[in-house]
Amino acid sequence: MALLRKRRSRSFRNPSPDLDAKVDFEVFLRVYLEMQGHIGIRSSASEFLKEATTTLLHTISESEKASYVGHINNYLGDDVFLKRYLPIDPLADDLFELSKDGVLLCKLINVAVPGTIDERAINTKAILNPWERNENHSLCLNSCKAIGCTVVNIGTQDLVEGRPHLVLGLISQIIKIQLLADVNLKKTPQLVELVGDSTEVEELMNLPPEKILLRWMNFQLKKGGFKRTVTNFSSDVKDSEAYACLLNVLAPEHSNKQSGKAVKDPLERAKLVLEHADRMGCKRYLTPKDIVDGSPNLNLAFVAHIFQKKKRNGLSSQLKKISFLDVTQDDAQVSREESVYRLWMNSLGISIYIDNVFEDLRDGWVLLEAIDRASPGIVSWKFANKPPIRMPFRKVENCNQVVKIGKQLKFSLVNVAGNDIVQGNKKLILAFLWQLMRGREKDECLIHHLCGKEAWLFHLLLPEDILEVNQKMMLTLTASIMYWHSKKPSEDKGLVSDTETGSSTETASSSAADDSSSDSSNDENAGR
């Protein structure tokens, strides 16, 4: 025993030189507790070992990781910079290691939404210093916000360390945005088949892409005589019966007679469904086990990819001639403004993620939260009704308080009532959000929210906004530049005229003196 103690003591005095080696947490804890016991410290911490230590760790889905790695290998395999590192091994942790310099994530964002990042701004040297790496991750996080990702509680350091659950969560959102990019009436006007009149079309336009995808799937299932309604991408598709019917409707020539209800084993049925999808030319985003387990992210990716097959999505190429689908210039402008306000409000860290400001703000609660962020303490929360709100008059109560506070803040709200917000009046909601975001010119708190840590909002300025002299967007850009300049170190701002101290004169004269001395020294050297 004495010899064992002597060896242990020697090992701690002379630790292993391999500082990069990983140490199992339980092993570390046991050694630590043993050390405590040997030096006479009594502790009940040893009881901790009796509990499962896995509760301290975030687990990740190996199936999701493998699926996303396959997606990255497929879409970024030819990238000039990344091809030296690809393909990534889905069975190792290469994905998280490769994400540590930020290049992969920035490139993936541009695949999802082309043109989001000017790739000249990405640091792509073989070895990056900490500042360059941080620049890449800041660019990545700000761009993720701009395309609609939720990045609450994710910082640059998390990405530098390559924390698996955070990196995988971010990649999942980016890929989801890419796969759902066409699930809207603007990109796929044939979706008008899913509705009958103008009222339903407006409702469809306000639905998030996942809901539209479900509606499309049920539309196709109805053609195949499927009796159930699919309401989610998890429990409702676990038995693969809906998938078998969907693929038989979309590509009957590739169907297998055994792929229907005749197969009793769900795992075997899922296998046949994926074989059918393979014959259609669809990429595999999941395994038969993922279907049976009801993995929502992978099932969503699978259905979205099937929808992307334009010639196979079951929608007619002949559009209905419906006048209310014509997108006017005003409609396009409203859409751009809605996007700005939606991303701004999501950046405030409110409790509910906003998919559409015209729908998600109608109960008044989100607006009250946004107002409270802008002017803390101004909302009377004891008179507010928290979602879910079933009674319409409760929504009106919230919106009435929104209007009341808006008037206190000197917003222009002539002949405006809370019910106008509940009814989803677009022009009114946009006008209110503009005044809330702009705030009072002297309100430093609002300017901070508009231009401070959220200065990324002016990525949202489009060339069309400048050509059309969009006053709101131009003001946002100007305010962002003003705030950025005000926060720059004084020595970086150049010469500033100061009549009281004469600092600019002194700076100019000293600069001139330096120049003259430099010139004289150059002349002397030339003479020599």
Decide if 485 is inside a domain.
no
Dist CA 143 CA 116 (whole Å)? 7
pLDDT above 70: residue 450: no
Q: By percentage, how much of the chain surpasses pLDDT 90?
A: 32
* Statement to judge: residues 193 and 302 lie in one domain: yes
Higher pLDDT among residues 330 and 371, named by residue: 371
Decide if 423 is inside a domain.
yes
The domain of 217 spans 189-311
Chain centroid offset of residue 144 CA? 5
Last residue of a domain, one of 386, 415, 442: 442
The mean pLDDT value of the chain amounts to: 76
Give the model's pLDDT for residue 437: 79
Dist CA 340 CA 276 (whole Å)? 42
- What average pLDDT score do residues 183-210 get? 79
81-103 as b/e, with b when 16 or more CB fall inside 10 Å? Answer: ebeeebebebeeeebbebbbbbb
| CA distances in angstroms from 144 to 102, 124, 412, listed in the order given | 12, 19, 33
pLDDT above 60: residue 56: no
Range name among 365-369, 428-432, 512-516 with the lowest pLDDT average = 512-516
| CA distances in angstroms from 487 to 257, 427, 447, listed in the order given | 68, 35, 13
* Statement to judge: residues 125 and 229 lie in one domain: no
Give which of 277, 306, 288 is closest to 213, Cα–Cα.
306
Number of domains, the chain: 3
- What average pLDDT score do residues 332-343 get? 71
Cβ contacts of 214 within 8 Å, gap of 6 or more: 230, 231, 232, 233
Last residue of a domain, one of 311, 338, 360: 311
Higher pLDDT among residues 73 and 447, named by residue: 73
Give the model's pLDDT for residue 260: 54
* Statement to judge: residues 307 and 193 lie in one domain: yes
Higher pLDDT among residues 68 and 424, named by residue: 68
Give the model's pLDDT for residue 33: 61
The pair of three-digit structure tokens given for residue 405, joined into one six-digit string = 């506070």
Instruction: Please report, for the chain, how many H helices and E strands are present, in that order.
Output: 24, 0
Give the model's pLDDT for residue 37: 54
Per-residue pLDDT of 268-313, as tens digits, reads: 999 999 999 888 888 778 899 999 999 999 999 999 999 987 667 7
Higher pLDDT among residues 252 and 334, named by residue: 252
* Statement to judge: residues 366 and 395 lie in one domain: yes
Dist CA 228 CA 129 (whole Å)? 56
Dist CA 470 CA 333 (whole Å)? 9
Last residue of a domain, one of 146, 180, 214: 180
The angle subtended at Cα 505 by Cα 503 and Cα 508, nearest 5°, is: 110
pLDDT above 70: residue 39: no
Give the model's pLDDT for residue 513: 44
* Statement to judge: residues 143 and 200 lie in one domain: no
* Statement to judge: residues 160 and 256 lie in one domain: no
Higher pLDDT among residues 205 and 368, named by residue: 368
Instruction: Quote the DSSP letter at residue 119.
Output: G
Dist CA 134 CA 160 (whole Å)? 8
Decide if 500 is inside a domain.
no
Dist CA 216 CA 267 (whole Å)? 25
SS3 of 168-219: the string is HHHHHHHHHHHHCCCCCCCCCHHHHHHCCCHHHHHHHHCCCHHHHHHHHHHH
Dist CA 383 CA 363 (whole Å)? 14
- What average pLDDT score do residues 32-46 get? 50
- The answer to whether the beta carbons of residues 234 and 299 sit under 8 Å apart is yes
pLDDT above 70: residue 55: no
Decide if 73 is inside a domain.
yes
DSSP 299-363: HHHHHHHHHH-GGGS---SS----GGG---HHHHHHHHHHHHHHHHHHHTT-SS--S-HHHHTTT
- The answer to whether the beta carbons of residues 184 and 204 sit under 8 Å apart is no
Per-residue pLDDT of 76-121, as tens digits, reads: 999 999 989 999 999 999 999 999 999 999 999 999 988 888 888 9
Decide if 36 is inside a domain.
no
* Statement to judge: residues 263 and 361 lie in one domain: no
Higher pLDDT among residues 451 and 336, named by residue: 336
Give which of 55, 30, 56 is closest to 45, Cα–Cα.
30
* Statement to judge: residues 79 and 175 lie in one domain: yes
* Whether the bond into 15 is cis, omega within 30 of 0: no
Decide if 517 is inside a domain.
no
Decide if 369 is inside a domain.
yes
**CATH code of the domain in which 288 resides:** 1.10.418.10
* Statement to judge: residues 334 and 240 lie in one domain: no
Per-residue pLDDT of 202-225, as tens digits, reads: 777 777 889 999 999 999 999 989
Banded model confidence at residue 261, pLDDT cuts 50, 70, 90: low
* Statement to judge: residues 171 and 193 lie in one domain: no
In 3-state terms, the chain is what percent helix, strand and coil (to 5)?
Answer: 65, 0, 35
Give the model's pLDDT for residue 95: 93
Per-residue pLDDT of 122-161, as tens digits, reads: 999 888 899 999 999 999 998 888 787 888 788 889 999 9
Per-residue pLDDT of 469-516, as tens digits, reads: 777 667 767 776 776 677 666 555 554 444 444 444 444 444 444 444
* Statement to judge: residues 366 and 419 lie in one domain: yes
* Whether the bond into 296 is cis, omega within 30 of 0: no
Decide if 199 is inside a domain.
yes
pLDDT above 90: residue 229: yes
Torsion sign, CA atoms 23, 28, 30, 34: positive
* Statement to judge: residues 166 and 203 lie in one domain: no
Give the model's pLDDT for residue 193: 85
Higher pLDDT among residues 215 and 8, named by residue: 215
192-228 as b/e, with b when 16 or more CB fall inside 10 Å? Answer: bebbeeeeebeebbebebbebbbbbbbbbbeebebee
